[in-house]
Amino acid sequence: MRCTGSIDPALFIQAFEKGVDGIAVIGCRLEECRYRFGNVFAEEKLTHVKGLLELLGLSADRIISERVTSADGAKLADRLEAFVNEIRELGPVPITPSRKAKNADKESVDKEVKQLVEDTKAYKCVDCGKCTAVCPIPKFEPEFPMPRIMVLRSIEGMTDHLSDGQDIWTCTTCGLCNSLCPFDVDYCGFIQGLRAQARALGNDPTCSHRGLIHSAMRIMAKATSIRQDRLRWIPPDLSISERSDVFYFVGCLPHFDTVLADRNLRLTDISVAAVQLMNAAGVSPHISNDEVCCGHDLIWTGDEENFLKLMDKNLKIIRKSGAETVVFSCPECYRTFLRDYQEFEGDLGFEPLHISEYLQRLMDDGRLTFPKRESATPVTYHDSCRLGIHLEVIDSPRRLFEAAGLKVVEMDNTKNRSYCCGNCAWTNCSSTTMKMQLERMRQAKRTGAEYLLTSDPKCQIHLSCAMSGKLPIERELVDVPVKDMAIALAEILKGKT
Amino acid sequence: MREFCDKRGRERVVIGACSPEVPENPLRGDLEEAGINGYLVEQVDIREQCAWVHSSIGPATAKATALIRGAIDRSLRQEPLEDLSFDIAGAALIIGCSEPGIQAAMKISEAGFRVYLIDEEGSGRSPTERTPADPDSGILAGHENVEILLNCHIEAIDGIFGRRHVKVHTAQGPREFEVGTILVVTPREASAKDSFDHSSSDNPSLITVAEFERLLMGLEKGMQPLRPSDGAPLRRIGFVQRVDDDKEAGRAAPEQSAFIALAITQALRLKRLRPDMEIDFYVHEAEGLLRTSKALSDSAARSGIKFNSVAAPPDITSEDGSTLVRARHLGHDESTDVESDLVVAVGDRRASGMASRALELLHAGTGESRTGGDFAGGQAADLNRGIFVIRTSDSKEAAARADNETEPAASAMVRIMRQQTVRVPRHVAHVQEYRCRGCGKCADICEHDAIKLVEKEKGEQVAQIDELRCEGCGLCRVACCNGAMALLGYTTTQLLAQMLGMIEEVGG
């Protein structure tokens, strides 16, 4: 290690995931950085890591940073000894590290892939090429194998590419191919299944943030008897109930606010807005400190084992709460419950709903009304893959916008023919992703809308990521502010325009 | 060793030994001679890590095994690389003809190298001031290798380590020369405190970030900090951002914001030690400055540190031992007074005049934040290889330090020039173009001007590394959210493998 500033925060979180109980970062004194501000940068990153540890229910005291000179040997020894004692007092991190599984053999993988071809009806593919024509990736990355080529390879029993190919992780699983396939091949399900096999062969995806996010999710999956601290975002004026028919599932927004602290996205404001809107309709939802990540990003990176652990925890919490309806701000969580949880678990015993569907229902019942407004603000709406294409929830958000006095100007690709924000489950983000994001922002700008509204916090993260740095084109061509729909609606409700 | 490598076709070696990790490690040299790429050799310093620091044999041995296991796993992921190589010109440039400059010039010329000793001022000032050497004074008689250029102005310093091309303007006209090493002797620097009015800079309760750091270290050792004016206990501390009056638009901001980040970290340490301490921050242009360290200031605010966004730098006055901070908050007409026991001036002042110009051209900074440590004692930082800075000042402490630094700096310069060719490990940043989104965050964080964005094709930008400027600090790879930036020899994949190897060995 050359500088504590060069330690990727992911290393800390991955160490805890593997069962480490405490980490001491030992570096130069702050004002003596050989590289100017490396250690100040390190301290800043450490505050993010500590924030994440607190959220996860691992004490922030499990990391210390000691800034010493070569003359401080005795002092350091004392400090480390004290630290070890502090860790002993805290006890071990309640995570059982999983043994590194041996890579699956080719034979079993071939068998699984064969089954997958059956399950997803991939065998029905007639090589018509509709999926290829609509896939957004090859336009920017001509060497990307068309969806149907991946299918045909598998039908032919060619599985070698699974052990090291990156293409399997490049697909954004946006689902346009699914929606256009005349023979109902479930291409997204096929990719999801192939990824589990790729992973079994030791082919891990290259993830943004060096896998820190997935690692945090695995900690949530594996940790037992851990007290999370995930409700800090709730302001005192929100009405929350200990028991309610409605369970509001927050998802990973507090975690993203911490991990992406540099970007200052304030994603938990989305949850605040969602609850404010529910409150305005007289609904006081239950929010649980014990919910965990839905597991979307794990199952889409082939980690079924930990996905199932998360699913079990969530279902237990929700069923125990007695809620009949579970409302999601994040379409990924929503899809995961509606599709994946039901696939493994059958009937869930409660109704999952996206916030837009739920608010529409409240509006239809006359419980939620928006103030009349003089002029309609032009906005455009980005249908996320999960909500718009996979689940075809298209009208609810638009009806809400209309009721709130917003005029939706549609982009070139819209509704169930939407255009992906470029990334899913943080895998293989690249220069291609950036180009897709700029293309989407260009579409939004061309509509003349004042805002690009999203209903998916992840799309907001990814699209605003593209805008947060330097651009290869004129900024005027793409600069539309990205805003979550719940925040926009709550602002209108409060009389802000 | 050669036989071992030849016979068995070994490519990678892990040394678990008692020798410390030093560049001159003979074993490493032997292995390289035997045809093994030096980057495929990992070393674990068993003596430093285990034998010397642990008293019981069992756990120490277990630790040694884990360290070696980690090194093996890391070694398996190393790539063979070539060193960077620099030719060194046999001439030195010394900027600033004051005492340390002259001493260094004599020493370097005695070693047989040419020295250009330059100063922006002429000769003939009174000897009580730290004057440039008068060429007629005879002090450098017999040192024909030293050329003194007075009334000199630096036009440009180009080139890279080892062969920097210097263009100066003298009374006699322009001169150009090539130098292998550079020593910058800065004139007395104003303290951050000087930007406050004169009466307050005499106030013992107004201290600098560096002075506060010493106080904090005392506190961490268990000492009780007292009010400097009268020894009363400390209850309330203000951090006041000093604003440069000669601030060039847009230039000072990154340094200022780094300083604020440093001060916030100090405040957090203080708050951790003394939760009851009231801490106020007075920040000018808070939006822009705090942006880069948002998380840090947020976490500080959560620990109860108050941030005040002020319209102008506060007035500092002292009264009966306590210090009054009078600040006008942004958007308010009235000023408010806060009584503080101690006020920390947060900020930096650049070196002035020619030294400042030289450091700017060399992309090297100086100031209170870096107590000369980078450059002192012959330990040039990698990028600034061959650049040394000695800060002089009126204070006794600084003068003594300058004395102590001169000899080692001159020796180090001689040592570098004697080598003629310097090989530097290629531990530099590397861009994986496919993953680079061209956002430029790496370039923003780079303190060494080593990264720029270039157009890859129309509508696509990619980061490009200047390997000669890169110091290998690795901040860019943390700034890159996408893993596009690697630090050769220390990639996250390698570090992760090493870490997981160690964890697995001790049983997770």
For B145-210, give the secondary structure using H, E and C. CEEEECCCEEEEEEEECCEEEEEEEECCEEEEEEECEEEEEECCCCCHHHHCCHHHHCCCCEEEHH
Please, what sign has the CA dihedral across residues A62, A67, A71, A75?
negative
Lowest-confidence segment of A20-24, A294-298, A372-376 by average pLDDT: A372-376
pLDDT at res. B370: 32
* Shortest Cα distance, chain B CAs vs residue A193, angstroms: 25
Pairing mode, if any, of strands B322-328 and B315-319? antiparallel
Strand, helix or coil at B114?
strand
Residues 268-327 of A with CB under 8 A from B: none
For the segment A231-283, what is each residue's pLDDT rounded down to a tens digit?
999 999 999 999 999 999 999 999 999 999 888 899 999 999 999 999 999 99
**How many angstroms separate the CA atoms of B12 and B25, rounded?**
16
Query: Which residue is listed with tokens 């079924």?
Result: A304
Q: How do the pLDDT tens digits run along chain B, 508 residues long?
A: 777 777 666 688 888 887 655 555 677 778 888 888 889 988 888 888 898 888 899 999 999 999 999 999 999 999 999 988 889 999 999 988 878 888 899 999 999 999 999 888 765 443 344 444 455 556 676 778 888 888 888 888 887 778 889 999 987 889 999 999 999 887 654 445 555 554 555 677 888 776 787 788 778 777 777 777 777 888 899 998 876 544 443 344 445 666 677 788 788 888 888 888 999 988 876 555 555 566 677 777 888 888 888 877 788 887 776 788 888 887 787 888 888 888 888 865 544 567 767 776 776 544 333 333 333 323 334 345 688 877 665 556 666 667 777 888 898 899 889 988 888 889 999 999 999 999 999 998 887 778 999 998 888 999 999 887 788 899 999 999 999 999 999 999 999 999 999 998 887 5
Are the Cβ atoms of B475 and A3 closer than 8 angstroms?
A: yes
B254 touches chain A (CB under 8 A): no
Domain boundaries, chain A: 4-90, 106-200, 226-295+303-497
Are the Cβ atoms of A262 and B294 closer than 8 angstroms?
A: yes
CA angle B462, B464, B469 (to 5 degrees): 160
Residue type for position A283: V
pLDDT at res. B287: 59
Residue A276, beta-bridge partner list: none
State the count of interchain CB pairs (< 8 A) between A and B.
174
**How far is CA B351 from each of CA A31, A80, B357, B360, B389, rounded to the nearest angstrom?**
18, 39, 9, 10, 11
CA angle A157, A160, A166 (to 5 degrees): 120
End-to-end Cα spacing for chain A:
51
* Shortest Cα distance, chain B CAs vs residue A399, angstroms: 36
Contact B328, B311 (CB under 8 A): yes
For the segment A454-463, what is each residue's pLDDT rounded down to a tens digit?
999 999 999 9
Are the Cβ atoms of B478 and A11 closer than 8 angstroms?
A: no
Residue A131 above 70 pLDDT? yes
What six digits make up the tokens of B247?
């601030």
Residue type for position B395: S
**How many angstroms separate the CA atoms of A161 and B452, rounded?**
35
**How many angstroms separate the CA atoms of A133 and B459, rounded?**
23
Strand, helix or coil at B14?
strand
DSSP for B407-431, written as a single string: HHHHHHHHHHHHHSEEEE----EEE
Torsion (CA) A272, A277, A282, A285 in degrees, nearest 10 = -40
Residue B99 CB partners (closer than 8 Å, separation 6+): B130, B392, B402
Residues 26-85 of B with CB under 8 A from A: 53
pLDDT at res. B375: 35
**How many angstroms separate the CA atoms of B281 and B241, rounded?**
8
Phi, psi values for residue B173, rounded to 5°: 115, -175
For the segment B133-178, what is each residue's pLDDT rounded down to a tens digit?
455 556 676 778 888 888 888 888 887 778 889 999 987 889 999 9
Nearest CA in chain B to A74: B53
Q: Interface pTM (ipTM) of the complex?
A: 0.94
For the segment A186-244, what is each residue's pLDDT rounded down to a tens digit?
999 999 999 999 999 999 999 999 999 999 999 999 998 889 999 999 999 999 999 99
Residues 49-88 of A with CB under 8 A from B: 51, 75, 77
Q: Which domains does chain B have, with CATH numbers?
A: 2-81 (no CATH), 87-189+351-421 (3.50.50.60), 192-346 (3.50.50.60), 429-488 (3.30.70.3270)
Q: CB-CB: which of A77, A206, A466 is closest to B483?
A: A206
pLDDT at res. A37: 77
What six digits make up the tokens of A478?
């793409």
What six digits make up the tokens of A42?
């390190």
Beta strand spans in A365-481 (E): 377-382, 406-408, 451-454
CATH number of A106-200: 1.10.1060.10
What mean pLDDT comes out for the span A286-305?
Answer: 97
Count helices and strands in chain B by DSSP H and E runs: 15, 24
What six digits make up the tokens of B439?
């956002």
- Percent of chain A clearing pLDDT 90 (strictly above): 81
DSSP for B191-205, written as a single string: PGGGGS-HHHHT-TT
pLDDT at res. A81: 94
H runs (alpha helix) in A365-412 = 395-403
What mean pLDDT comes out for the span A371-400?
Answer: 94
What six digits make up the tokens of A261?
């602290």
Residue B302 CB partners (closer than 8 Å, separation 6+): none
Max CA separation in chain B (angstroms): 84
**How many angstroms separate the CA atoms of B407 and B377, rounded?**
8
